[in-house]
Amino acid sequence: MTPIETVDNSNALTFWVGCEACSCFRGGVDKRYWKIARHLVEKDIIKPYSDSRCDYEDSPERLEYYLDFQTAGLSRTILYIHKKLKEEFGQ
């Protein structure tokens, strides 16, 4: 994750945490949570945004974008669950 210089809604200079490779602007999670989430999304086990659909024939770029935003949403959930379990069971 790298700080990306941008402007906010009032046109004031600000920095967002983001990934320049995928143009995603979010806090990010450990890669292990991302990998777990990606596996679950690709296997069609869990998708956090179930109302969102992607026709796999659209284009490789659209498919990759779809998988990325589904994975991002789920990886944050996996991180949250891991933290809660760690608090509860102390591991």
List Cβ neighbours of 13 (8 Å cut-off, separation of 6 or more). 5, 6, 7
Q: Taking the complete model, does pTM exceed 0.75, yes or no?
A: no
**Into how many domains does the chain fold?**
1
pLDDT digits (tens, 9 = 90+) for 9-58: 888 887 776 666 655 666 667 888 889 999 999 998 998 888 777 766 67
- Tokens at residue 47, please? 């998708």
Domain that residue 32 falls in: 2-89
pLDDT digits (tens, 9 = 90+) for 46-71: 988 887 777 666 788 888 888 888 88
52 vs 13: CA distance, rounded Å: 33
